Amino acid sequence: MAAPRDRVAHLLRQLQRAACQCPSHSHTYSQAPGLSPSGKTTDYAFEMAVSNIRYGAGVTKEVGMDLQNMGAKNVCLMTDKNLSQLPPIQTVMDSFVKNGINFKVYDNVRVEPTDRSFMEAIEFAKRGAFDAYVAMGGGSTIDTCKAANLYASSPDSDFLDYVNAPIGKGKPVTAPLKPLIAVPTTSGTGSETTGVAIFDYEHLKVKTGIASRAIKPTLGLIDPLHTLYLPERVIANSGFDVLCHALESYTALPYHMRSPCPANPVTRPAYQGSNPISDIWAVHALRIVAKYLKRAVRNPDDLEARSNMHLASAFAGIGFGNAGVHLCLTAFLWYSPPPQCSLSRHRCLLSATWRWQKYWVLITENGPRDPQTRNQNTGKGHQACTTPSVRRGSVCSV
């Protein structure tokens, strides 16, 4: 066992040093250099930041009352063109009307947002002078709304001020933001729990983002009834998002091995490395995925399965939103099945997921739970990951 463990420990150190050049995942450039007050060069603490969460079938109907309780007078409702035509958005607007909430709708959110689409939403938010926001949709909508809230609340800031370095300046967010209620309609990103907003920076053709605890939603309303409108492919692909978020946050370099140590708590990144609290959420999300993802894909009327996947998305979000993710999973999520495979892409990936189960079962049920020995646990999981179709997108291929 010593050799596999040494290889995994070496891999994690290499990942930290390389820092994954994808700016979406890396916070190497945004951490302040220098020694911490304790004199340590690696971090010695972690901080948990999570949105308030309310879960329940039909809970979306309460959004108008929440805004009324917040004293909101002028609300921005953000969504996309497709969702704006579906019943979930009507539920939100009915709740606004019933509770006397004045609102304007922005439905020009781009799926897989760019810096340009972010800035269009930001301009709308600035013109509207809103005192609260509601984001209804998938991660693209929620992330766009986070950015709109941030820059409308800090109108003199340049767009790149808060974007992760090295693309942007990675400045800490100090301006007070308006309340933001996130109503997720997909089961994948967990954006309702995190302080991260991801987008494509078109000029450099890279994916990057804004990461700050300050931009996390005030409240996430997780209503499993919305998942009944999701087609099979969306359930499958977003389910893989949950799987990857949970696996990566659990196997991320432990927080006490991350460097440099921040000289000031305000510069401690949102992605801090695996820690005992994030671990709990990540492992629980993995167990739910193993039990319910296949059911949720196969039967669109299986409310139990789709409800649990909706929760798993939030659980994984709590995990990776604080621990971070450490691999670029484009290869895993978007590779085409081999020519001899008769399955569609997402079915091929779904088949591969159950082989992943061997990986995380060993992680979660064997070995020490002390973060000091995390590399030993991942060694066991890494050793079990031998299936070519899985290895293509796993740590084995790095």
pLDDT at 269: 87
Mean pLDDT of 318-326: 89
pLDDT at 8: 54
Residue with tokens 């009307």: 97
Where is average pLDDT lowest: 170-174, 251-255, 373-377? 373-377
Percent of the chain exceeding pLDDT 90 equals 63
The candidate with the shortest Cα–Cα distance to 253, out of 357, 327, 178, is 327
Residue with tokens 């997402």: 346
Where is average pLDDT lowest: 15-29, 175-189, 244-258? 15-29
pLDDT at 258: 87
Mean pLDDT of 309-325: 93
- Please state the three-class secondary structure of 296-353 as a single string: HHHCCCCHHHHHHHHHHHHHHHHHHHHHCCCCCCHHHHHCCCCCCCCCCHHHHHHHHH
The pLDDT confidence band at residue 319, using thresholds 50, 70 and 90, is very high
What does the pLDDT look like over 293-303, one tens digit per residue?
999 999 999 99
Question: Hey, what are 121's tokens?
Answer: 């939403």
- The answer for residues whose C-beta is within 8 angstroms of residue 132's C-beta and 6 or more apart is 67, 70, 72, 74, 75, 76, 178, 179, 180, 181
Q: Is residue 341 pLDDT above 80, yes or no?
A: no
Of the two residues 264 and 305, the one the predictor is more confident about is 305
The pLDDT confidence band at residue 122, using thresholds 50, 70 and 90, is very high
By the 8 A CB rule, do 43 and 34 touch?
no
SS3 291: helix
Q: Is residue 34 pLDDT above 70, yes or no?
A: no
pLDDT at 255: 92
The pLDDT confidence band at residue 162, using thresholds 50, 70 and 90, is very high
Q: Is residue 94 pLDDT above 80, yes or no?
A: yes
How far is it, in rounded angstroms, from Cα 142 to Cα 92?
A: 15
pLDDT averaged over every residue in the chain: 80
**CB count, 10 Å around CB of 171?**
17
Residue with tokens 């091929």: 348
Q: Is residue 352 pLDDT above 90, yes or no?
A: no
The pLDDT confidence band at residue 392, using thresholds 50, 70 and 90, is very low
